[in-house]
Amino acid sequence: MIGLIQRVSQASVSINQEVISEISAGGLLLLGIEAQDTPSHAQKLAKKLLNFRMFNDDLGKMNLNIEQAQGALLIVSQFTLVADTQKGNRPGFSKGASHEHGLTMYNAFIDEVKQQTQLPDLHIATGQFGADMQVALINDGPVTFTLTV
């Protein structure tokens, strides 16, 4: 399981030119799911995401996690994150999860984030698994990190 987290001042997901999810300041997580991923991977990545300090404190240091910064979270499935790009010029997707397994792990990850959050009112928005989505964002910083477990 691979996550690409971006600190954003706003982000949204649209399908067929209709916005289905949006957040203001917080984090946009693009989530790649591999064939061997398990609920344990979802649990570990959710913990890492919620504790990852990528928001500035009063001194401008990245010392705050998403909850401490009172940010929102947008989680979008992104199967291309698990692509093999080592050989040739065409990405390979043999490491990626099947549609069924990917959907199960995507939902398990979202459930883990909701269960592990210390803020019951943390705004968590999602994309639509398997859909052709358009993701719009304003990257704040820019700040972007790869999270793996």
In tens, the pLDDT along 30-72 reads: 999 999 999 999 999 999 999 999 999 999 999 999 999 999 9
Residue 91 pLDDT: 95
Q: For 80-93, how does the pLDDT look when each residue is reduced to its tens digit (9 = 90+)?
A: 999 999 999 999 99
CA angle 33, 44, 85 (to 5 degrees): 35
- 100 within 8 A of 129, measured Cβ to Cβ: no
Does this model's pTM top 0.75? My answer is yes
Exactly one of 38, 80, 85, 148 is catalytic; name it: 80
Is there a catalytic annotation at residue 80?
Answer: yes
Q: For 90-116, how does the pLDDT look when each residue is reduced to its tens digit (9 = 90+)?
A: 999 999 999 999 999 999 999 999 999
Report residue 52: phi and psi, to 5°: -70, 125
**Separation CA 36–CA 58 (nearest Å):** 41
Residue ranges and CATH numbers for the domains of the chain are 2-148 (3.50.80.10)
In Å, what is the CA distance from 117 to each residue of 72, 100, 109?
A: 12, 26, 12
Q: Say how many residues make up the chain.
A: 149
The answer, yes or no, to whether residue 120 has pLDDT greater than 90, is no
Mean pLDDT of 14-41: 98
